[in-house]
Amino acid sequence: MKINRTTSLPTPLTLIMLVIVLAAVATWLLPAGQYSKLAANENTFAMTSSSATVTLPFTQRTLDSLSIKIPLQKFSSGDIRKPISVPGTYQKQESHPQGFVAILQAPVKGIIDSIDVILFILFIGGFMAVFTKTGALFEGVKFLAQKMKGKERWLIVILIFIFSFFGGSYGMDVESIVFYPVLVPLFMEEDYDVMVPLAIVFGGAGVGYIASFSNPFAVIIASNAAGINWTDGLTGRLIFFVVSTSLFAWYVLRYAARVKKNPASSIVFRIDGTTTSPFPLRMEKQVGVSSLPSKTILLLFVFVATFISMISGIVFLNWWTTEMSALFFGSAILVGLISRIGEKTFVTEFIKGAESLLAVGLIVGLARGVTIILNDGLVGDTILYNASNVVQHFPAIVFILMVMLFFFFFSIPVSSSSGMAVLTMPIIGALAIIVNIPGREIVNAYLFGMGVMFLISPTASVFPALLMVKVSYKAWLKFITPVVIALLILSALFLIIGIAIK
């Protein structure tokens, strides 16, 4: 079913380029400025300002003298690796406006800076293409669809909680794209639209990310930078995880039931004009599957084991893109050997798969270009400095809500959770002490603000996900906006309660 639409938003690549242009314009309008940055270098600290780099003793007294409320062992253990902002050191600098050449260079610099993530995406594409070529994916999805017949609502709830757990436990992000080739055909086979699996995977992981009860790239780094134990506030975040995920599951179930009853009510159909699957996996409804061949079972075992290994490696072994890319490359080779795919066919399919995700990788690089423009223009710290000056004069409840909104909007130019934490937490954490706000609520405001924006930010992972399933940004906004509003209200209530019981 397909209809034509005459109006639509620009493509994701164009939208991000527009954000880069706006960031460059900001460097002409905002005054330049910088905080001094403190970094740990073996047995010393190095504090770098615009004029000089000073070597300081590697002691707790040094941190205390700089009003940095972080235990020394957080630096010596490697928990904090990036330079952190030093409170009270903001200085105006000579203006560094970013012009036409800088705008053209920003995507290139962003791609270079994100090359590890981009290569990881390409290896995922290669692995998925090789695995799809074996036919095991087709057989496995068909078998699962048959077994779950009539139980799709339970499957939606279970999968949302699983992906939400991944988002909250370790911060599942761009790696979630590997699940779409499996789940999209499965749910479209049962007369849902592509928005349902998109909501399950990206939305589920995003809602869990807001709670981040053990996410090392968000709550742990932010708590360390704020000088508190990351378990402070854990109970509240776990409650938020259950409430927010349940709310989102109810919303998706409601939408899915409406689409199943009337396919014309699909947001994807109404806005994008199509209800076809973006993945070449067709299943004939009249064909039943009573059991799976042993080779298919072995291939599916390798498939599942690959993802379990990836998640375990991230959580327990501190894996990142190098290890994950090698895992998917090795799994692709293993799949090829088991299925006895010829060498030429293997290489051809692997390259085709990588090629299919090239646009997704480019989006990741372009999004990084936004941060590069702001950093090179020396206005990122200016935004932080002025925002912190504004919020510190308000009562505690107003302060914490404004901090959440600051993180909500500031996460557009600074999309990295760890980067945001080390950039802002030492400054805002110091302000929180002045207005007598618990450090856990500052961390929660950071998680809630940045996490909710994660669902819609053009510089986060929404565009790679949308490009993967061929859904427009306009359609996604139409679907997710009520959720964003509800989550902002829920987040505000949790923060107010946290302040009230401090």
Q: pLDDT, tens digit, for every residue of 227-261?
A: 777 788 888 999 999 999 999 999 999 999 999 99
CA angle 355, 358, 363 (to 5 degrees): 170
- Give the containing element (helix H, strand E) for 457: none
d(CA 365, CA 117): 9
As beta bridge partners, residue 57 has 44
User: What is the pLDDT confidence band of residue 289, given thresholds at 50, 70 and 90?
Assistant: low
pLDDT at 251: 98
What pTM was estimated for this model as a whole? 0.71
- The CA distances from residue 142 to 18, 138, 182, 297, 468, in Å, are 42, 6, 10, 13, 21
Averaged pLDDT, 395-406: 91
Q: Burial letters for 104-113: b for 16+ Cβ neighbours within 10 Å, e otherwise?
A: eebbebbbeb
Q: pLDDT digits over 370-391, tens only?
A: 888 988 998 888 887 887 788 7
- Give the containing element (helix H, strand E) for 277: none
Interacting residues of 36 by C-beta distance below 8 A, sequence separation 6+: 47, 48, 49, 85, 86, 89, 91
Which has more pLDDT, 251 or 52? 251
Q: pLDDT digits over 122-161, tens only?
A: 898 898 889 878 888 777 767 776 777 778 888 899 889 9
pLDDT at 6: 41
- Give the containing element (helix H, strand E) for 220: none
Which of 9-23, 54-68, 424-438 holds the top average pLDDT?
A: 54-68
Lookup: tokens for 211? 């709670």
Would the pLDDT of 288 be above 60?
Answer: no
* Closest listed residue to residue 237, CA positions, set 218, 256, 263: 218
User: What is the pLDDT confidence band of residue 290, given thresholds at 50, 70 and 90?
Assistant: low
Asked if 470 and 263 count as a contact pair (C-beta separation under 8 A), the reply is no
Would the pLDDT of 168 be above 60?
Answer: yes
Which of 45-54, 134-143, 149-158, 396-405 holds the top average pLDDT?
A: 396-405
Asked if 458 and 226 count as a contact pair (C-beta separation under 8 A), the reply is no
Arithmetic mean of pLDDT over the chain? 84
d(CA 407, CA 415): 10
Which has more pLDDT, 106 or 226? 106
pLDDT at 79: 62
d(CA 495, CA 501): 10
pLDDT at 362: 83
d(CA 272, CA 3): 8
User: What is the pLDDT confidence band of residue 414, given thresholds at 50, 70 and 90?
Assistant: confident
174-188, 290-304, 459-473: range with lowest mean pLDDT: 174-188
Q: Where are the alpha helices (DSSP H) in 55-203?
A: 60-65, 73-76, 100-113, 115-133, 136-147, 152-170, 180-189, 195-198
Q: pLDDT digits over 302-339, tens only?
A: 988 987 887 788 767 878 778 988 999 999 999 999 99
User: What is the pLDDT confidence band of residue 1, given thresholds at 50, 70 and 90?
Assistant: very low
